[in-house]
Chains A and B, each alone.
Chain A
Amino acid sequence: MPEPSPHPSSGSTAACCLLLAGQGRSHALSFVIATFILLPTLHRGAWGSASSSAPATPADSSTSHVTVRMILLPQKSICSSSYRRPHTDCPKLTVSDVEDLKEQYLVSGAYELLPGPRAVRLRLTPAFQSALMAAIDANDYAVILEFDWGTTITAVVDIIRKSEARLPNWLNKKHKFYRSQHWYTHQNANAFDPARNVIWQVTLNGAFSFLFRIEGAILKEVT
């Protein structure tokens, strides 16, 4: 059940740089590449620019480089253990697994991510927010984050969850993936409640980070 505005991934200079950065070069080299080559190619300004804090809506293919999608589904579809414990017995998600799940469950549009110290706000659509709230109420739902790097890369990725509202901080470090365009991680749906003000930080090769937060939909007036 994908939401409208699906985003076909596209190759880009940025992704090529990620590939270079991920293939055994030092973090310093990655940082240099990221700073001087990757960042100017991003369509929406540099680090710290005002536009980076503007709410992002699902992106179209012409403006995106690194994107993220959310897939809302029952937790038992991907992991039998509780998120309260370290979920070591969760099987690793493959591309085909996720493609199957995308056929069955609600998928958000693709949101473009920008590197830099400011969190990009991912504005939910009303339909996705309604479903997310129902899923949070049901208490046994999860959200898969599907990162699309734009092209096949090899890299080490760290993801950190920082919350201001009754949710412990969480991190998942040193996930190495080989020659893949996508990387998946998943969390309890609670962590995506816009009211919790969670900031997600994804770092590639320890060099540069993408920060984002979930922002509530602008809901229409209920009569």
Chain B
Amino acid sequence: MAASGTSAAGEGIGVKILLMIVDKLLLGIVAALAIAVLQHRLEVAQERLEKARKLNDINVDRPLAIAANLPGHLDQYITYMNHVRAVELKVTPERLTELQGNIDADIVGCLAFYTNKQLSGLGKTIRETVKRTKAVVLTSTLSVDDIASLEKARHLGYEFHACIVNLSVRRVEDQVNSAHDHASPTSPSPSAAIESCGPS
């Protein structure tokens, strides 16, 4: 009787130990799965972050870098025109074309990245002022009004640059928001037309 009682107690301990082992194993498996899921999520997040960084490099940094050249290029053009007017410098059409080409490239380059009415309007006004003053300097002499229009173009150049900065900030914000909000994959692209490019 005592022997059967001892063996029953032994079986009970064995079952307990077995259950404990199974429990620990299950816990280990669950923990390993949880770690794997977390790791996967981390990797995905890191990939997304890397992708966002690359997108920023292309979509934001590139137009910013191009737009940053515009005030300098406009300044070179205006300085050349002032020299021509003030010291009756002989006009070199090649030099003029080169300076005009730089300005055109900056504006067209930025407009390739952003579709925005205000930006297009600023770019058009600057380019037309440059074209008109180039024609004037090659066919006659620059007037006070021409110099004034160039000074206005200088301001517009800075405004254009500021517009690109604002649009870039807005684009980064949009990208951050869309990274958080996976539920709206059909949200408008950051490059979609934005009517105004004032600070966000």
Choice from B94, B132, B134, B138 contacting A106 with Cβ under 8 Å: B138
Q: What A residues does B40 contact at CB under 8 A?
A: none
- Binding-face segment, A80-88, A134-142, A151-159, A206-214: A134-142
Q: What A residues does B136 contact at CB under 8 A?
A: 74
Q: Is the CB of B134 within 8 A of A134?
A: yes
Choice from A105, A127, A137, A140 contacting B140 with Cβ under 8 Å: A105
Q: What A residues does B132 contact at CB under 8 A?
A: 138, 140
**Does A50 have its Cβ within 8 Å of any Cβ on chain B?**
no
Q: Is the CB of A73 within 8 A of B140?
A: yes
Alpha-carbon separation in the docked complex, A139 to B97 (Å) = 16
Closest Cβ of chain B to A182, distance in Å, is: 21
A71, closest chain B residue (CB): B139
Q: What B residues does A74 contact at CB under 8 A?
A: 135-136, 139
Alpha-carbon separation in the docked complex, A130 to B108 (Å) = 23
Interface residue total, chain B, C-beta cutoff 8 A: 13
**8 Å CB interface, A33-77 against B:** 72-74
Alpha-carbon separation in the docked complex, A140 to B96 (Å) = 19
**Does A5 have its Cβ within 8 Å of any Cβ on chain B?**
no
Q: What A residues does B140 contact at CB under 8 A?
A: 1, 73, 104-106
Q: Is the CB of B93 within 8 A of A138?
A: no
Closest Cβ of chain B to A193, distance in Å, is: 14
Alpha-carbon separation in the docked complex, A106 to B137 (Å) = 10
Interface range on chain A: under 10, 10 to 19, 20 to 34, or 35 or more?
10 to 19
Q: Is the CB of A131 within 8 A of B131?
A: no
Q: What B residues does A127 contact at CB under 8 A?
A: 93, 138
- Across chains A and B, the number of contacting residue pairs, with CB separation under 8 Å, is 47
**Does A222 have its Cβ within 8 Å of any Cβ on chain B?**
yes
Alpha-carbon separation in the docked complex, A141 to B135 (Å) = 9
Q: What B residues does A135 contact at CB under 8 A?
A: 135, 138-139
Alpha-carbon separation in the docked complex, A70 to B7 (Å) = 124
**8 Å CB interface, B142-196 against A:** none
Q: Is the CB of B94 within 8 A of A137?
A: no
Given contacts A127-B93, A222-B94, contact A105 B139 (CB under 8 A): yes
Closest Cβ of chain A to B32, distance in Å, is: 70
Q: What B residues does A1 contact at CB under 8 A?
A: 139-141
Given contacts A104-B140, A106-B140, contact A138 B94 (CB under 8 A): no
The residues of A with any CB-CB pair to B shorter than 8 Å are: 1, 72-74, 104-106, 126-127, 130-131, 134-135, 137-141, 222
A-B pairs with the 10 shortest C-beta distances?
A: A130-B93, A131-B138, A138-B135, A134-B135, A106-B139, A134-B134, A135-B135, A134-B138, A138-B131, A72-B139
Please list 10 pairs of residues, one from A and one from B, whose beta carbons are closer than 8 Å in the complex, sorted by A's number.
A1-B139, A72-B139, A74-B136, A105-B139, A106-B138, A131-B93, A131-B135, A131-B138, A135-B138, A137-B134
